Structure 1
Amino acid sequence: MEARVGRWVIGALVLVLVGLLVGIGVLVGSRDTADAELTQTQHDIAAAARAEALAFLTVDHENMDPLVDAVLSGATGRFKKQYESQREMLTSEAIRTEATSTAEVVALGVGGFTDDAGDVLIAANSTVTNTTTGNEGQVRYYRLRLSLVREGDRWLTSNVEFVR
């Protein structure tokens, strides 16, 4: 009789174990699908933020118009209006100080995001030359938080702030 009970318990445990494995397989399969979708969204947000940060931190006193246009093409809302209103001042200051700045993104992280909005933290370095630094150039370190929104099929920057 004990042998029968033992077999029944083992059989029940095997059924429970198979049920758990099937359940885990279903959960993992659906999680992989969700992760793939999230990964693509994160990738899209990150790519747009990287491009905007590089455009924002790049300066060339000899050719500012395409650089300002690049920032504006990746911008929207209040940020776009503010940047656009500073266009003449940014250009004249770059020319006056003979400024150049070559930027690189060294780290990037997508924070909270939805299908239509996301925040990105960026660490970037920029080598700056101007009338103060001379030809040697000076490395500057930036930490930025970009807020992005989806407009149609594009992610655009709606806000840029410097963070510590």
Structure 2
Amino acid sequence: MSEGVSRGRWSWWATIVGVVLALVGTLLIAFGDRLAGASEPSGTASAVSVSQDFAVAYNTYDVADPDDYKGRLEGLLTDEYREQAFEVIDAIFEALAEKEQTSGDADVLAVGVPVIDDDSAETLVAVDATISNTDVEDAGVERHFRWKLSLVRDGGGWKVDGFESVASVEAEALPQGGESP
């Protein structure tokens, strides 16, 4: 073989290898997190799932059966938060026992995840539920709840480590000129 043919083949192979390496590099940059099993997509989905489960469990109760209620919440809460939450639940259930209050038909409308990293997340949950008690003669009253949940990683899964109610914002249109009536 002549030196020119050998040099041409070498250039051809070098070009092919360069193109393949460039494609592999581009794919790794674009999809490297997914290929490496990054926690973002599955972590977000898992945080949403735990938030939905908590919202349904928290809004499904009968004050006559606090043990059933706490049993359904127990696995969703961190150990530290569980103690605090159960103290509050006991006090609330005691105050509502006379009214025989129940809550059910929990409907999670939406869950948002504004903040997430490897070991913590914050979710915003919108849920509706029907509250019934001795003050309500018919089927019950639909209530609208909005919460901010704090989640932490615990044993590879998410657990609720706190939550707070988010006040609804009511907007009102002002007449032209901007002064309220």
> TM-score, length-normalised on structure 1?
0.76
Higher relative strand content: 1
Which whole-Å CA distance do the structure 2 matches of 1:133 and 1:80 have between them? Answer: 31
Once the two structures are overlaid, the 10-residue window that deviates more, 46-55 or 56-65, is: 56-65
1:136 pairs with one of 115, 139, 145: 139
The answer (yes or no) to whether the contact 1:94–1:100 under 8 Å persists in 2 is no
> Conserved in 2, the CA contact under 8 Å of 1:79 and 1:160?
no
TM-score normalized by structure 2?
0.70
Q: CA RMSD in A?
A: 2.5
| Partner deviation per Cα, 1:95-116 (whole Å, 9 max, x = no partner) | 3111111122110012211111
Aligned to 1:55: 57
How far off is 1:137 after superposition? 0.9
Question: Matched residue pairs, number?
Answer: 148
* Structure 1 stretches of at least 4 aligned residues deviating more than 4 Å after TM superposition: none
**Which one has a bigger Cα radius of gyration?**
2
Structure with bigger helix share is 1
Q: Where does residue 70 of structure 1 map in the other structure?
A: 72
For 1:10-159, what aligned pairs fall within 5 Å after superposition?
22=23, 24-30=26-32, 32-33=34-35, 37-76=39-78, 78-102=80-104, 103-159=106-162
> Post-superposition shift, 1:24?
4.0
8 Å contact kept, 1:143–1:162: yes
Q: Which runs of 5+ in 2 are unaligned?
A: 1-18, 168-181
Query: What is the identity, as a one-letter code, of the residue corresponding to 1:116?
Result: D
Whole-angstrom CA distance in 1 between matches of 2:159 and 2:27: 38
Residues 104-133 of structure 1: per-residue CA shift (max 9 Å, x gap)? 211001221111111110000011111222
- Among all aligned residue pairs of Structure 1 and Structure 2, give the percentage whose two residues are the same amino acid: 26
> Offset at 1:35?
8.4
